[in-house]
Structure 1
Amino acid sequence: MIMTEYARTKQKDKPLHEKFEYAQQLFSIVSVDDTGIFELPNSYFSKQFRLSDINFMGVTNSEQAEIINWFSKVLESVPCRFSYIVANEYVDETEFKKEVLYPLAGDKLDTLRHAFNDVISNKLTDAKQGLYQSIYFTLTCKADDMKDARSMFASMDTAIRTAFIDQAAEGIAGSVMSPISTNERMQLLYNFTHIGLHTNFKFDLDEEIKYRRDWLNTISPGSLRFENELFHMNGKVGKVIYIHDYPKVLEADIISKLSQINCTSYISVNNELLPTDVLKKELQRKHMKVGMKIENEKTRNRNQNDYLAEASATLLESNRKIEEFEKEINDEDQHYFNTTITMLFMADDMEHLESIENKVISQASLKSIEFKNCFAMQREGINTCVGLGIQEFKHVCNMSSTSVAMFMPYKTQELNDKGGVYYGINQLSKNAIFANKKKLKNRNSLILGQSGSGKSVAAKLETICSYTVYKDDQFIMIDPNADYYELAGIVGGTVISFDPQKQLFVNPLDVD
Structure 2
Amino acid sequence: MFKKKKKLSVAAQRKADRLARLGYSTQDTLKFQDLNDEGLMKIDDDHYSRVYELGDVPFEAIGAEAQQEVIVSYGEAINTLDAKSHYQLLVVNERVGENAIENLLMPMAGTPDDVYRKEINDLMKARFSSEDNEFQVKRYAIITTEQKRASAAEISLSKAALAFQEPFRKGGVPLTLHGLSGEERVNLINQFTNPGMTMSKVDFQHQNAKDLVAPSFLELDNNQIQINQAHTRVLYAKYYPKVLEDDLIKNLTALNHEMVISLHAQPYNMRDLQKKIQTISQFNKIDRRRQQKDNAKDGVSSDFVSGLSEDIGQTTDALKEDFSKYGQKLFTGTLTVMVSAKNKSELRAITDEVKGVGEAEGVFFESAYNYQEEAFNTTLTLGWSFLNEDPDTYRDMTTLNIATQRPFTSVELQNPHGEFFGQNQITGNVITIDRKDKQDLLTPSGLVLGSSGSGKSVAVKYQLLNTLLNHPKDRIIIVDPESEYIEIGRQLGAQILDISTGTNNHLNLMDLADRTKLREEDKKLDLIKEKSNLLTTMFDKVLTLSDAQKGVIDLVTHDTYEQYEKPTLVNWQAVLKSRPEKIAQELALSTSPYTVGSQDVFSYETNLDLSNRFLIFNTKHLDENMKPFAMQVILDQIWKQVVASQNIVSTWLFFDEIQVNFQDQDSANWFANLWARVRKYGAIPTGITQNISNIMQFQGGRNLTSNTEFMMLLRQKAPDLKILKEELGFDENVLDQFVNERAEVGTGLIRVNGIMVPFKNPIPDHTRLYELLNTDVDTDKE
The residue correspondences of 1:288-303 to structure 2 (distance < 5 A) are 290=284, 294=288
From 472, 475, 500, the counterpart of 1:473: 475
> Could you tell me how far apart the structure 2 residues matched to 1:269 and 1:278 are?
24
**Mapped pair 1:187 → 2:190:** no
Q: Give the counterpart letter for 2:344 in structure 1.
A: M
Which residue of 2 is the match for residue 153 of structure 1?
157
Which residue of 1 is the match for residue 463 of structure 2?
462
> Could you tell me how far apart the structure 1 residues matched to 2:481 and 2:347 are?
55
More helix by proportion, 1 or 2? 2
Which residue of 1 is the match for residue 432 of structure 2?
434
**Mapped pair 1:232 → 2:226:** yes
The answer to whether the 8 Å contact 2:239/2:364 transfers is: yes
**Mapped pair 1:307 → 2:307:** no
Change in CA separation of 1:235 and 1:319 when aligned onto 2, cut-off 3 Å: same
- Give deviations 1:348-395, integer Å, cap 9, x for gaps: 222322222222222222221121221211111111112111210243
> Could you tell me how far apart the structure 1 residues matched to 2:301 and 2:181 are?
69
Which residue of 1 is the match for residue 421 of structure 2?
423
Post-superposition shift, 1:43? Answer: 2.0
The answer to whether the 8 Å contact 1:133/1:431 transfers is: no
> Could you tell me how far apart the structure 2 residues matched to 1:479 and 1:356 are?
59
Post-superposition shift, 1:415? Answer: 2.3
Which residue of 1 is the match for residue 216 of structure 2?
222
3-state SS in 2 of match to 1:241: strand
Post-superposition shift, 1:135? Answer: 0.8
Which residue of 1 is the match for residue 177 of structure 2?
177
The residue correspondences of 1:133-282 to structure 2 (distance < 5 A) are 133-164=137-168, 166=169, 168-169=171-172, 173-195=173-195, 197=196, 199-206=197-204, 209=205, 212-282=206-276
Which residue of 2 is the match for residue 132 of structure 1?
136
> Could you tell me how far apart the structure 2 residues matched to 1:110 and 1:275 are?
66
Post-superposition shift, 1:51? Answer: 0.9
Change in CA separation of 1:383 and 1:128 when aligned onto 2, cut-off 3 Å: farther
The answer to whether the 8 Å contact 2:246/2:404 transfers is: yes
- Give deviations 1:223-254, integer Å, cap 9, x for gaps: 21122222212221121111222224332222
TM-score normalised according to structure 1 size: 0.80
3-state SS in 1 of match to 2:421: strand
Change in CA separation of 1:372 and 1:18 when aligned onto 2, cut-off 3 Å: farther
Q: Give the counterpart letter for 1:308 in structure 2.
A: S
Identity of aligned residues (%): 19
Which residue of 2 is the match for residue 386 of structure 1?
380
- Give deviations 1:397-440, integer Å, cap 9, x for gaps: 32222331111111112323575422233354554322345746
> Could you tell me how far apart the structure 2 residues matched to 1:110 and 1:163 are?
51
The residue correspondences of 1:293-442 to structure 2 (distance < 5 A) are 294=288, 305-308=298-301, 310-313=304-307, 315-394=309-388, 395-417=393-415, 420-429=418-427, 431-436=429-434, 439=441
Change in CA separation of 1:191 and 1:502 when aligned onto 2, cut-off 3 Å: same
The residue correspondences of 1:491-502 to structure 2 (distance < 5 A) are 491-494=492-495
- Give deviations 1:41-89, integer Å, cap 9, x for gaps: 2421111111110111111112211111111111122342111111112
Post-superposition shift, 1:324? Answer: 3.1
Deviates more, 1:32-41 or 1:307-316: 307-316
C-alpha RMSD of the superposition:
3.8
Q: Give the counterpart letter for 1:48 in structure 2.
A: V
Which has the greater radius of gyration? 2
> Could you tell me how far apart the structure 1 residues matched to 2:141 and 2:324 are?
30
The answer to whether the 8 Å contact 1:420/1:469 transfers is: no
Which residue of 1 is the match for residue 4 of structure 2?
none
TM-score normalised according to structure 2 size: 0.54
Which residue of 2 is the match for residue 71 of structure 1?
74
Change in CA separation of 1:227 and 1:118 when aligned onto 2, cut-off 3 Å: farther
Post-superposition shift, 1:27? Answer: 1.4
Q: Give the counterpart letter for 2:157 in structure 1.
A: F
The answer to whether the 8 Å contact 2:261/2:338 transfers is: yes
Post-superposition shift, 1:91? Answer: 4.4
Change in CA separation of 1:18 and 1:373 when aligned onto 2, cut-off 3 Å: farther
> Could you tell me how far apart the structure 2 residues matched to 1:160 and 1:435 are?
30
> Could you tell me how far apart the structure 1 residues matched to 2:18 and 2:178 are?
34
The residue correspondences of 1:19-168 to structure 2 (distance < 5 A) are 19=19, 21-79=24-82, 80-91=85-96, 96=100, 101=104, 116=120, 119-120=123-124, 123-128=127-132, 130-164=134-168, 166=169, 168=171
> Could you tell me how far apart the structure 2 residues matched to 1:306 and 1:393 are?
49
Post-superposition shift, 1:315? Answer: 3.6
In structure 2, the gaps of 5 or more residues are 1-14, 506-617, 623-629, 638-782
> Could you tell me how far apart the structure 1 residues matched to 2:130 and 2:371 are?
34
The answer to whether the 8 Å contact 1:231/1:239 transfers is: yes
- Give deviations 1:175-200, integer Å, cap 9, x for gaps: 111110101111111222232x4x54
The answer to whether the 8 Å contact 2:419/2:466 transfers is: yes
- Give deviations 1:230-285, integer Å, cap 9, x for gaps: 22122211211112222243322222111222111111111111111232244245
> Could you tell me how far apart the structure 2 residues matched to 1:50 and 1:379 are?
25
> Could you tell me how far apart the structure 2 residues matched to 1:18 and 1:124 are?
50
Change in CA separation of 1:151 and 1:107 when aligned onto 2, cut-off 3 Å: farther
Deviates more, 1:294-303 or 1:231-240: 294-303
The answer to whether the 8 Å contact 2:489/2:496 transfers is: no
- Give deviations 1:102-160, integer Å, cap 9, x for gaps: 68698857886677556545533424464321111111112222233223233434333
Change in CA separation of 1:148 and 1:265 when aligned onto 2, cut-off 3 Å: same
In structure 1, the gaps of 5 or more residues are 1-14
3-state SS in 1 of match to 2:136: strand
3-state SS in 2 of match to 1:376: coil
- Give deviations 1:422-472, integer Å, cap 9, x for gaps: 223335455432234574686221467989xx8776554433222233441
Which residue of 1 is the match for residue 552 of structure 2?
none
> Could you tell me how far apart the structure 1 residues matched to 2:282 and 2:445 are?
66
The answer to whether the 8 Å contact 2:30/2:377 transfers is: yes
Change in CA separation of 1:449 and 1:264 when aligned onto 2, cut-off 3 Å: farther
> Could you tell me how far apart the structure 2 residues matched to 1:188 and 1:117 are?
31
Post-superposition shift, 1:288? Answer: 5.6
- Give deviations 1:207-232, integer Å, cap 9, x for gaps: xx3xx455433312222112222221
> Could you tell me how far apart the structure 2 residues matched to 1:293 and 1:125 are?
65
Change in CA separation of 1:71 and 1:157 when aligned onto 2, cut-off 3 Å: closer
> Could you tell me how far apart the structure 2 residues matched to 1:354 and 1:33 are?
38
- Matched length: 481
Change in CA separation of 1:121 and 1:188 when aligned onto 2, cut-off 3 Å: farther
Q: Give the counterpart letter for 1:345 in structure 2.
A: V
